[in-house]
């Protein structure tokens, strides 16, 4: 019978406070850059990719094909988590993070330069899918490395707060991606935006990546940090030859429970930032720039809510805060879409803001919670697999499922029901995790 490994304290190494902060800053910047590059694809999928790369059929068919390509990136994320987890648990966190940054930069730039279907025919969607797979592998590899850099060097009693700086990469990525798309749309006509303006956010991502990578490299040159990373890597290589084999043999149940507990968060999140963008602009006739502005403003609130929830979890426990967020998502699923269906920007903002609050309450303590479920020699692999399973089952399919449900039923309440089902699964998983050793 699978039981959670006794979650050993993430004992911080003897790093000065300034070095700890630089490590946390580097992890946060790496996370923000990765998520920015990942999210620009989701926004483009909702706005232009269907027409440019999947032109055959109805507009709905094009959007479905575009969202299916969006989902492919999620299917690739566990592969990134497995490969980086294996190497990261044996040879250190930082090299895998640098590799993930490099792969994401190449993939995102490739999409920004990719000719359309009208130019190169069927090769265009094939290459688009290939680049999206690269993005998925990169973000699957990135999260575990960035999260562990932050939490494993955190002072005792502040793992939640330090872990949350990596989680902030998500709202920062959303805000940055929305901002660049808004600017590109404002400075171009509709025809120019469809022709080349949408490419700008993909190309800008490379410059942001270069800046974050430079800072990240400077932090690596800090002697105290380099020695701590080397000691950790040597310890893990000596203790464990195959973290993946150990996880699959002894702790698969914990990984699946972690994934089940978080799928509702990823599904609701991608419904908000991608599915709702398509639904409000295509079905409700709302203006693209206004909807993007609402999404941007709502994401800004997460910059405060995520660390606040994480800090509270350091005081009263991860599971309590985590479960509170899941309950809130379930209760708000129906009111949220009733408000969105009014077609009013104000009620759209209210509906998505409240939902975002509950998502933040879950997301804040999630990094520390997942790290504490596994011992050091298997932590990168176990935490990454749990997170990426949730991403595949929740986030990757959510916009696609949303369009299918809307087309099949003609009502957004079907989407609310989908969210509620995932929330029930999350609460059941959380209840089991709460009874396992090491889950706070």
The whole-chain average pLDDT of the chain stands at 81
Query: Is 265 within 8 Å of 363 (Cβ atoms)?
Result: yes
| For the chain, percent of residues with pLDDT exceeding 70 | 82
**Section 140-159 average pLDDT:** 74
**Section 33-45 average pLDDT:** 81
Residue 349 to residue 244: CA distance in whole angstroms: 43
Banded model confidence at residue 414, pLDDT cuts 50, 70, 90 = very high
> pLDDT of 176-220, one tens digit each?
888 888 888 888 888 888 888 899 888 876 776 776 666 666 655
In this predicted structure, what is the pLDDT of residue 351?
96
Banded model confidence at residue 358, pLDDT cuts 50, 70, 90 = very high
Residue where the block lists tokens 């029930």: 424
> pLDDT of 81-140, one tens digit each?
877 777 766 666 667 777 788 888 888 899 999 999 889 988 988 899 899 889 888 887
Residue 369 to residue 298: CA distance in whole angstroms: 25
* CA distance readout (Å), 194 to 78, 225, 371: 32, 46, 43
pLDDT value at 3 more than 50 = no
pLDDT value at 278 more than 70 = yes
């Amino acid at each position: 019978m699978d039981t959670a490994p006794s979650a050993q304290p993430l004992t911080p190494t003897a790093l000065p406070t300034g070095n700890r902060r630089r490590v946390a800053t580097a992890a946060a910047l790496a996370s923000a850059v990765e998520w920015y590059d990942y999210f620009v694809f989701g926004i483009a999928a909702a706005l232009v990719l269907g027409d440019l790369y999947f032109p055959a059929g109805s507009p709905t068919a094009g959007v479905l094909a575009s969202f299916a390509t969006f989902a492919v990136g999620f299917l690739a994320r566990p592969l990134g988590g497995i490969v980086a987890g294996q190497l990261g648990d044996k040879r250190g966190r930082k090299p895998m993070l640098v590799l993930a940054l490099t792969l994401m930069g190449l993939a995102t730039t490739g999409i920004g330069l990719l000719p359309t279907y009208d130019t190169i025919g069927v090769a265009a969607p094939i290459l688009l899918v290939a680049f999206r797979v690269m993005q998925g592998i990169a973000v699957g590899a990135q999260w575990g490395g960035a999260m562990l850099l932050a939490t494993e060097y955190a002072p005792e009693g502040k793992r939640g707060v330090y872990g949350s700086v990596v989680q902030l990469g998500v709202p920062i990525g959303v805000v940055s991606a929305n901002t660049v798309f808004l600017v590109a749309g404002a400075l171009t006509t509709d025809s120019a935006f469809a022709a080349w303006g949408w490419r700008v956010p993909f190309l800008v991502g490379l410059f942001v990546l270069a800046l974050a990578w430079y800072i990240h490299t400077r932090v690596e040159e800090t002697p105290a940090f380099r020695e701590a990373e080397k000691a950790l890597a040597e310890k893990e290589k000596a203790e464990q030859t195959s973290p993946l084999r150990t996880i699959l043999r002894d702790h698969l149940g914990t990984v699946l429970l972690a994934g089940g507990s978080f799928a509702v968060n990823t599904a609701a999140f991608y419904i908000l930032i991608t599915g709702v963008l398509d639904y409000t602009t295509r079905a409700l006739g709302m203006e693209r720039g206004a909807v993007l502005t609402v999404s941007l403003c709502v994401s800004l609130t997460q910059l405060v809510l995520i660390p606040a929830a994480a800090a509270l979890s350091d005081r009263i426990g991860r599971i309590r805060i985590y479960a509170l967020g899941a309950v809130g998502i379930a209760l708000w699923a129906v009111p949220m879409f009733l408000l969105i269906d009014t077609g009013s920007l104000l009620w759209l903002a209210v509906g998505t803001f409240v939902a975002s609050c509950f998502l933040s309450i879950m997301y804040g303590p999630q990094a520390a919670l997942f790290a504490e479920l596994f011992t050091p020699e298997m932590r990168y692999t176990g935490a990454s697999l749990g997170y990426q399973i949730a991403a595949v089952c929740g986030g990757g399919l959510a916009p696609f499922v949303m369009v299918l449900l809307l087309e099949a039923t003609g009502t957004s309440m079907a989407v609310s029901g989908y969210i509620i089902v995932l929330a029930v699964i999350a609460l059941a998983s959380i209840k089991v995790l709460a009874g396992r050793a090491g889950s706070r």
